[in-house]
């Protein structure tokens, strides 16, 4: 099996590829790549964020493991603390608007981060290179700088769609330390092609390399972070860092057209992916024609049905009872097919929205080890502890602001996500190692890549590049490359 690594950030892919070419395995490459992603895509991911890994370990008795490192609400939170701050749901469904952006921007939006714990545990458990070696490329790039790409530069120039919403630049300008690092001397953001350096982040990464990942949760870094967060009103405490625990689980497993699908468990996107595939297995999608009106209708209704089951029930399984077997059963899929075939409407309750963010990487090595890793900051809180160089997540924005909901706020609770790192097996051999950025649209994007390959015989390149659509409620959103006469 040839080695392969893919991600949206070229500098990170290059460093991961070097690890593979120098004899490292998929785990080594994934950790190295993820740390570089945090440097070159600094408001989408980083060591202040959270991660979800689907790992396949090759060998005589191959096994699959999911490592979940969620962003956990601080121990000072309470379920009803923001119910009087609610303004409205964002019209585009990407977030709850609260007074003073308390859930979105600044110290009150931060949850306890888990990415460092996940990456170090994965490397220690199954990697072959030292932690210091995995961290070194990210530290070097932060120190020497990288060329700002057009996507990052455009993000800093894109305004918010609504007055209650934050743009990427709003997060930067909301914190003095972030402004110092991410804005030039004249107060402007960096342009595409300009070199951006972050020596503070480099020093933090080198400290992590020298002292180990435990420094982030129990050592000097933990002390500096918790001192800053406490002084500025965050709900995250020093004890939240010290007590942080990874969650190890088995992937959720489904079957589709003779292939085994292994994906993320609750409270993530995997169960919804399996539910949609179960519904669609009862249709001859190839006969409908790729992205034909009938195809888009059938797939969209399957999406809508699965989200109708997901939205009112999904939450952190450590806090709520999620009916996973029912949601992902073939029997439930059959009920939904009858409903769809009858033409009856499907009512979907509002989801707990996520901002369209995040990044992903997929790696396969020559021995057949595989990693699908999705990690994120949300849109970032904008907060940087002075001298540390990295932003924290703003995952409080993803919790339901009212109590008595499966995704309501609670101390040390994780929130729902669309993260769907997935490995598809054909005859017990990995055939696809996939995932995506994009909040809850991750689920429908991963779905369509699977359909494009398994139902329509596309190559992985063709499958990823094909235009997609999304339906999670009353609207079907189609890519501009799908003709208007199809969507009308």
Question: Would you name the residues annotated as active-site residues?
Answer: 358
Label each residue of the chain as H, E or C: CCCEEECCCHHHHHHHHHHHHCCCCHHHHHHHHHHHHHHHCCCCCCCCCEEEEEEEECCCCCEEEEEEECCECCCCCCCCCCHHHEEEECCCCCCEEEHHHCCCCCHHHCCECCHHHHHHHHHHHHCCCCHHHHHHHHHHHHHHCEECCHHHHHHHHCCCCCCCCCCHHHHHHCCHHHHHHHECCCCCECCCCCEECCHHHHHHHHHHHHHCHHHHCCCHHHHHHHHHHHHCCCCCCHHHHHCCCCEEECCEEEEECCEEEEECCCCCCHHHHHHHHHHHCCCCHHHHCCCCHHHHHHHHHHHHHHHHHHCCCCCCCCCCCCCHHHHCCHHHHHHHHHHHHCCCCCCCCCCCCCCCCCEEEEEECCCCCEEEEEEEECECCCCCCCCCCCCCCCHHHHCECCCCCCCECCCCCCCCCCCCCEEEEECCEEEEEECCCCCCHHHHHHHHHHHHHHCCCCCHHHHHHCCCEEECCCCEEECCCCCHHHHC
């Amino acid at each position: 099996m040839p080695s392969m690594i893919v991600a949206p950030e070229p500098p990170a892919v290059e460093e991961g590829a070097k690890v593979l070419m120098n004899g490292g395995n998929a785990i080594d490459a994934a950790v190295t790549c993820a740390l570089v992603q945090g440097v070159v895509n600094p408001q989408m991911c980083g060591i202040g964020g959270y991660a979800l890994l689907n790992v396949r370990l090759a060998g005589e008795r191959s096994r699959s493991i999911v490592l979940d490192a969620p962003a956990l609400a601080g121990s000072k939170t309470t379920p009803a603390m923001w119910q009087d701050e609610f303004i409205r749901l964002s019209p585009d469904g990407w977030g709850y608007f609260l007074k003073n952006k308390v859930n979105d921007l600044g110290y009150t939006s931060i949850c306890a981060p888990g990415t460092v714990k996940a990456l170090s545990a994965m490397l220690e458990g199954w990697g072959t290179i030292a932690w210091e070696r995995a961290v070194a490329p990210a530290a070097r790039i932060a120190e020497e700088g990288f060329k700002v790409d057009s996507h990052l530069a455009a993000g800093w120039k894109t305004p918010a769609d609504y007055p209650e919403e934050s743009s990427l630049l709003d997060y930067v300008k909301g914190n003095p330390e972030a402004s110092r690092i991410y804005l030039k001397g004249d107060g402007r953001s960096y342009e595409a092609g300009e070199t951006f350096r972050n020596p503070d982040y480099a020093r933090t990464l080198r400290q992590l390399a020298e002292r180990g990942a435990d420094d982030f949760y129990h050592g000097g870094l933990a002390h500096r972070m918790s001192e800053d967060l406490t002084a500025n009103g965050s709900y995250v405490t020093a004890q939240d860092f010290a007590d942080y625990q990874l969650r190890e689980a088995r992937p959720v497993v489904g079957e589709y057209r003779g292939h085994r699908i292994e994906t993320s468990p609750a409270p993530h996107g995997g169960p919804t992916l399996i539910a949609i595939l179960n519904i669609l297995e009862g249709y001859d999608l190839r006969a409908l024609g790729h992205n034909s009106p009938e195809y888009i209708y059938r797939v969209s209704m399957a999406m809508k049905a699965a989200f109708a089951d997901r939205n009112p029930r999904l939450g952190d399984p450590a806090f709520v009872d999620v009916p996973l077997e029912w949601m992902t059963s073939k029997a439930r899929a059959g009920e939904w097919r009858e409903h769809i075939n009858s033409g009856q409407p499907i009512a979907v309750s509002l989801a707990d929205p996520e901002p369209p963010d995040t990044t992903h990487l997929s790696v396969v090595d020559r021995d057949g080890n595989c990693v699908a890793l999705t990690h994120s900051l949300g849109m970032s809180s904008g907060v940087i502890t002075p001298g540390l160089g990295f932003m924290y997540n703003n995952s409080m924005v993803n919790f339901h602001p009212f109590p008595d909901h499966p995704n309501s706020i609670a101390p040390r609770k994780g929130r729902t996500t669309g993260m769907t790192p997935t490995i598809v097996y054909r005859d017990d051999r990995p055939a696809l190692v996939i995932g995506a950025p994009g909040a809850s649209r991750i689920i429908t994007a991963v779905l369509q890549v699977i359909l494009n390959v398994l139902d329509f015989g596309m190559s992985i390149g063709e499958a990823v590049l094909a235009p997609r659509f999304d339906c999670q409620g009353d609207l079907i959103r189609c890519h501009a490359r799908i003709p208007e006469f199809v969507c009308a």
